C-alpha cells in the first residue's frame, strides 16, 4: 500500500483549492491536490454559465498569482455601473463607477476561464502534485498529522489538511463541523444571450414580483446585438417550466420577463441551473484542518461575493502558512489556524448576514415588504454616502493588511 508524505493536502481542485496551491509557490511547502474530477476536465473546464463578478482586490490578487494575464482578453468585461430595480417601478437605484473612484465597479470573468487559468498556474508550481479522478474514503486527524485514505488504497499523510471541496464539503462533515445552511427554495438560471438594447456595461439587479432578474453585460456589441448574461431566479417548480422551453420560446419569455426593456433577445446559449443554498461553517479550522472557499462560506450569488471571499480566505491562509514556513515553525499550529479563522470570520460574516437579509427582504412579495424595499431604494438612491459605501464594497479596493502572500514569486 502506497503512502505519500507531504506538507499540505488540499481536497478539491476548484478555483479556491487551485489558487491556494498557486499561492504557496515559493514557500518550499509540498502540496498534494486531490480532486474527484478527471485531469482532462480540470485542464479544459466546460462552460458552466457562471459569469463571476470580481472586485479590484480580487483582480490584484489574481495578478499576483499570475492568473490574470492568462485570461483571454475577450472574456474579461468591465462592469462599469449597477442599477437596482424594485417591482414595476422604472426608477432604479444607480451605483456609478465614479462613486468608487475607479473606471469600473469590477470585472466579469467566466468561471470556467478562472478554473482553467488557476489550474495552469497551479500545475507550474514546484512541489505541487495532482491526484485527479480519485475518491477520498477516509480522513483521520491527530495532534501531529492528517491522514487521507483513497479508494485505490493510497494514503496521504500531511501536516495540514485543507478542505476546498465545495459548499457541501464532505471533509467538513467528516470533521464534525456544524454548518448553518439556508435553502432559499429557489433556483438560479444563467444563460448567455444577445439583447437588442445596448447595456452600456451596466449590471441590473431587478427584484420583481415572484421573480428576481439580473443582467450582466458581456462587452461590446456584435452584429447580432449586445452580449449579456441573464440570471433568473424562481421557485423550483416554475424553473422547471422555463427549462422545458425551446430556445425561441425561452428568448421570448426572457424578453417578456424584462418587460421589453432589453428589446429583442437572441442567440440563446447553454442554460445552467443552480439550487440556491447558502452555507456558513460554524468553524473554519479544527485540529490539522482548515476550510477555504465555499467549504467555509457558501454565499447566495446575489451580492456576487462568493469567490471574492474565497480569494480573501486563500490570501489569508497562504499568508499564515508562508510565515510559518519561513520561520521554520509548524504550519498546523493551532494558534496560527485560529488567527486565520478569526480574520476570515470578521471579513465574511457581516456580508453573509447582510446578503441573507437582502434576499429575505427583496424576495418577500407581501405588501409591507414591497413598500419597505421601495422606500429603502428610494432613500438609498438619494443618500450619496450610502451609495459611495456600496460602490466601494462592490469595487473592494483591498487596502487591507499587507499579507505574506504579497510576496508570491
Ligand X SMILES: Cc1cc2nc3c(=O)[nH]c(=O)nc-3n(C[C@H](O)[C@H](O)[C@H](O)COP(=O)(O)OP(=O)(O)OC[C@H]3O[C@@H](n4cnc5c(N)ncnc54)[C@H](O)[C@@H]3O)c2cc1C
Q: Which residues bind ligand X (CB under 6 A)?
A: 11-17, 34-37, 50, 52-53, 111, 136, 164-166, 170, 188, 190, 274, 293-294, 301, 304-308, 310
The dihedral over CA atoms of 8, 12, 17, 22, expressed in degrees to the nearest 10, equals 70
Closer to ligand X by Cβ: residue 208 or 294:
294
Closer to ligand X by Cβ: residue 306 or 332:
306
Q: How far is the CB of 279 from ligand X (least distance, A)?
A: 11
Closer to ligand X by Cβ: residue 19 or 265:
19
Nearest to 184 by CA among 50, 274, 294: 274
Q: How far is the CB of 351 from ligand X (least distance, A)?
A: 11
Closer to ligand X by Cβ: residue 48 or 98:
48
Q: Rounded to whole angstroms, how far apart are CA atoms 37 and 49?
A: 19
Closer to ligand X by Cβ: residue 14 or 217:
14
Q: How far is the CB of 10 from ligand X (least distance, A)?
A: 9
Strands 106-110 and 51-54: antiparallel
Q: How far is the CB of 369 from ligand X (least distance, A)?
A: 24
Q: How far is the CB of 88 from ligand X (least distance, A)?
A: 26
Q: Rounded to whole angstroms, how far apart are CA atoms 129 and 255?
A: 48
Nearest 5°: phi and psi at 137? Answer: -115, -5
Asked if residue 284 lies in contact with residue 290, where contact means CB atoms within 8 angstroms, the answer is: yes
Closer to ligand X by Cβ: residue 12 or 225:
12
Nearest 5°: phi and psi at 354? Answer: -65, -40
Q: How far is the CB of 371 from ligand X (least distance, A)?
A: 29
Nearest 5°: phi and psi at 337? Answer: -65, -40
Angle of helix 111-123 versus helix 15-23 axis, rounded to 10: 30
Amino acid at each position: 500500500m502506497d503512502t505519500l508524505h507531504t506538507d499540505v493536502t488540499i481536497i478539491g481542485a476548484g478555483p479556491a483549492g487551485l489558487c491556494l496551491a498557486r499561492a504557496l509557490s515559493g514557500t518550499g511547502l509540498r502540496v498534494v491536490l486531490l480532486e474527484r474530477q478527471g485531469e482532462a476536465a480540470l485542464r479544459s473546464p466546460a462552460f458552466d454559465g457562471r459569469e463571476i463578478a470580481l472586485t479590484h482586490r480580487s483582480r490584484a490578487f489574481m495578478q499576483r498569482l499570475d492568473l490574470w494575464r492568462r485570461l483571454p482578453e475577450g472574456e474579461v468585461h468591465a462592469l462599469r455601473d449597477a442599477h437596482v430595480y424594485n417591482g414595476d417601478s422604472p426608477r432604479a437605484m444607480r451605483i456609478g463607477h465614479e462613486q468608487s473612484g475607479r473606471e469600473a465597479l469590477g470585472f466579469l470573468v467566466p468561471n470556467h476561464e478562472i478554473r482553467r487559468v488557476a489550474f495552469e498556474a497551479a500545475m507550474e508550481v514546484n512541489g505541487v502534485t495532482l491526484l485527479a479522478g480519485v475518491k477520498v474514503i477516509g480522513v483521520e486527524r491527530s495532534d501531529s498529522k492528517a491522514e487521507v485514505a483513497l479508494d485505490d488504497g493510497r494514503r496521504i499523510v500531511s501536516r495540514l489538511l485543507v478542505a476546498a471541496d465545495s459548499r457541501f464539503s464532505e471533509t467538513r462533515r467528516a470533521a464534525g463541523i456544524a454548518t448553518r445552511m439556508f435553502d432559499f427554495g429557489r433556483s438560479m438560471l444563467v444563460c448567455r444571450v444577445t439583447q437588442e438594447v445596448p447595456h452600456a456595461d451596466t449590471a441590473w439587479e431587478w427584484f420583481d414580483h415572484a421573480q428576481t432578474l439580473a443582467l450582466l453585460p458581456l462587452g461590446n456589441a456584435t452584429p447580432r446585438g449586445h452580449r449579456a448574461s441573464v440570471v433568473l431566479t424562481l421557485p423550483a417548480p416554475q424553473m422547471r417550466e422555463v427549462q422545458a422551453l425551446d430556445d425561441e420560446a425561452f428568448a421570448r419569455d426572457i424578453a417578456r420577463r424584462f418587460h421589453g426593456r432589453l428589446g429583442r433577445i437572441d442567440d440563446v446559449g447553454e442554460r445552467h441551473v443552480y439550487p440556491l443554498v447558502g452555507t456558513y461553517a460554524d468553524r473554519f479550522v479544527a485540529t490539522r484542518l482548515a476550510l477555504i472557499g465555499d467549504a467555509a462560506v457558501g454565499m447566495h450569488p446575489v451580492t456576487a461575493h462568493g469567490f471574492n471571499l474565497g480569494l480573501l480566505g486563500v490570501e489569508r491562509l497562504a499568508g499564515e502558512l508562508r510565515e510559518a514556513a519561513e520561520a521554520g515553525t509548524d504550519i498546523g499550529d493551532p494558534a496560527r489556524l485560529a488567527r486565520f479563522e478569526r480574520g476570515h470570520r470578521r471579513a465574511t460574516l457581516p456580508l453573509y448576514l447582510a446578503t441573507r437579509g437582502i434576499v429575505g427582504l427583496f424576495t418577500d412579495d407581501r405588501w409591507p415588504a414591497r413598500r419597505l424595499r421601495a422606500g429603502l431604494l428610494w432613500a438609498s438612491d438619494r443618500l450619496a454616502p450610502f451609495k459611495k459605501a456600496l460602490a466601494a464594497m462592490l469595487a473592494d479596493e483591498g487596502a487591507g493588511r499587507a499579507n505574506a502572500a504579497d510576496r508570491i514569486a
